[in-house]
Amino acid sequence: MSVVEETFDVVVIGAGHAGCEAGLACARLGLETIVFTVSMDSVAFMPCNPHIGGSSKGHLVREIDALGGQMGINIDKTYLQSKMLNTSKGPAVHSLRAQADKVMYALEMRRTLAETDHLTLRQGEVTDLIIEDGRITGVKMFSGAIYHCKAAILCTGTYLKARCLYGNVIEHTGPNGLKSANYLTQSLIDHGVEMQRYKTGTPARIDRKSIDFSKMEPQYGDQRVVPFSFTTDPDSIQKEQVPCYLTYTNEETHDIIRAHLDESPIYAGIIEGTGPRYCPSIEDKVVKFSDKQRHQLFVEPESAFSDEMYISGMSSSMPEAVQYEMYHTVPGLENCKITRNAYAIEYDCIKANQLYPTLEFKNIHGLFSGGQFNGSSGYEEAACQGLIAGINAAMEVLGREQIVLDRSQAYIGVLIDDLVTKENREPYRMMTSRAEYRLLLRQDNADLRLSKIGHEVGLISDERYEKLLEKERMIEEEIQRVKTVNIGANEPVQKFLEAHNSIPLKKGMKLAELVRRPELNYQMLADIDPTRPELPEDVQEQVDINIKYEGYIERQIKQIADFKKLEDKKIPEGIDYDDVSSLRLEAQQKLKALRPISIGQASRISGVSPADISVLLVYLEQGKYLK
């Protein structure tokens, strides 16, 4: 019996948040790309929280957009509510967060895939990798079909050998009852890939009509919405927004959970997978924070096309009847109707230290991976990896240099470095505290940091790049002007300062000095700065931040220079660590296993001490590895 046999440049396994970015990147770079999914209904599907962005995740979305990815544009078109978080704090932690219309988000992404040249979207389960002489050459389908390729990208998310659990109910499906993928894990193991099992969970969905919102605090979006994408015209996306609601669990909720803890598959030890510390189930919260009398819950709309509400903060795997009991204790949910049960999901994924920072497998040439499959958690974390894996798979096929973003360039660089260098034992979620250079890695300057790379790769158009260069020129010129303009101690100035509770001037002062005053900023000083040119909002924002935080920024730039010294010290691929005699045994073993690409990366491997790094540096300087 004949089987279907086709050839593509790139095969992408998965059409989730990672797979969509990977497929779009490859197709937009002109490569014939096929994106597989076990179910067309899982394209850009949001199986959990209906929001994009939030602390540090908003940074990832801006960086994806700056590199030429799709997530930012997609959420700007499909948001229900949007809010800039942490505005009372410094710009380094300002983060955009938008409630997504899950239905529209998936449809909009699917339309983008459909309208992209060179991209084929195909329902079908990949069961085997075809590898010849250590290089990927194709994949085999459940149907028996064979797809040949020059590179492949694994973005299988939470579907590999997935099973969903609540109480003693176990369903061998992917999220939301979608088909799981049960064969590829074995093929990966057969090709020497180390697998592990992770888990995550989701709360019940509640029928909006059964909720008493009068017992909750409405949470509104920003008056004027700031877009995620640098290409979105802010005026084009202003619209009426949908509120979320704040409520709380209480002691009664906690008592029910404590009384039935042994019926939770997590606490009954049925669940094998490791869960995310920073997205705990309500059971975990009640056990780990037993002193807390209540836990915050946000009631969020899922879509304008459904009446389902998402209860953020109450994910669980308790038996169905216990779910009803515990949700009914929450103010506003006393008579709620559950439309979908809460559940936990287990799935197979890899230990990401089998990958280079390019997200290519060290032992399988041309095979890349991204997303939850790499041990991360979250739509944004998945999408940024999919984009980088897609770019590098394309670079591999085009015979061009692959890209690595380091920790000083992007949150994406921090995320990938942490995944491939550290021994992560739970799903990895991004946080601002993980980024040591976060004052420079702000969400507001992602384009200035990364769009040049996006342009070099070919995902940012010349037109968009020209606009960026113009923006850079305007920022630089205006910063110089503000540093040279003198503001006299005249009456209008004194009146202005008094009106803003700012100390009056004894004598003239540079405008920049006034910008640095905590109670003032560049934008508001326009009233006493008559020679100021008309400048776009985003340019004004950059001028304000760069002048206000100049000292801190300069200090961080110095720190980065030191970091770069070790990061740019590359380690030759063929180095024999057994030959570096004075290395400690543990360090030798770790370095042989991880094969870091730079001294910087080597220095971040646990078990490799600064003394080991000195030994390695001397060994490299003496060129002993050349013999």
Ligand X SMILES: Cc1cc2nc3c(=O)[nH]c(=O)nc-3n(C[C@H](O)[C@H](O)[C@H](O)COP(=O)(O)OP(=O)(O)OC[C@H]3O[C@@H](n4cnc5c(N)ncnc54)[C@H](O)[C@@H]3O)c2cc1C
Q: Which helix (H) or strand (E) holds 594?
A: helix 585-594
Which residues sit at the interface with ligand X, rule CB under 6 A?
A: 13-19, 36-39, 42, 47-49, 125-126, 155-160, 175, 181, 184, 200-202, 279, 345, 371-373, 377-379, 382, 429
Q: How far apart are CA 537 and CA 8, in angstroms?
A: 44
Report whether 266 contacts 344 (CB < 8 A).
Answer: yes
Nearer to ligand X by Cβ, of 13 and 387: the residue is: 13
Q: How far apart are CA 228 and CA 213, in angstroms?
A: 29
Residue indicated by tokens 């999914």: 37
Instruction: Supply 207's token pair.
Output: 């029928």
The minimum distance between CB 226 and ligand X, in angstroms, equals: 22
Nearer to ligand X by Cβ, of 39 and 137: the residue is: 39
The minimum distance between CB 432 and ligand X, in angstroms, equals: 15
**Residue 445 — φ and ψ, nearest 5°?**
-115, 20
Nearer to ligand X by Cβ, of 434 and 516: the residue is: 434
Nearer to ligand X by Cβ, of 128 and 544: the residue is: 128
Nearer to ligand X by Cβ, of 53 and 600: the residue is: 53
The minimum distance between CB 5 and ligand X, in angstroms, equals: 17
Nearer to ligand X by Cβ, of 50 and 596: the residue is: 50
Instruction: Supply 200's token pair.
Output: 């995550």
Nearer to ligand X by Cβ, of 204 and 257: the residue is: 204
Q: Provide the residue count of the chain.
A: 627
The minimum distance between CB 468 and ligand X, in angstroms, equals: 28
Q: Is the dihedral of CA 362, 364, 365, 371 positive or negative?
A: negative
Q: How far apart are CA 434 and CA 417, in angstroms?
A: 11
Q: Which amino acid is at 172?
A: H
Exposed / middle / buried, residue 224 (Cβ in 10 Å: 0-12, 13-18, 19+): exposed
The minimum distance between CB 207 and ligand X, in angstroms, equals: 19
Q: What is residue 385's three-state secondary structure?
A: helix
Q: Which of 535, 555, 543 shows the shortest CA–CA distance to 480?
A: 543
The minimum distance between CB 68 and ligand X, in angstroms, equals: 18
The minimum distance between CB 138 and ligand X, in angstroms, equals: 14
The minimum distance between CB 570 and ligand X, in angstroms, equals: 30
Q: How far apart are CA 477 and CA 151, in angstroms?
A: 45
> How far is CA 3 from each of CA 14, 130, 151, 370, 594, rounded to the nearest angstrom?
22, 15, 21, 29, 40
Nearer to ligand X by Cβ, of 97 and 449: the residue is: 97
Nearer to ligand X by Cβ, of 100 and 404: the residue is: 100
The minimum distance between CB 343 and ligand X, in angstroms, equals: 7
**Residue 254 — φ and ψ, nearest 5°?**
-65, -40
Residues 6+ apart with CB under 8 A from 289: 295
**Residue 446 — φ and ψ, nearest 5°?**
-60, -35
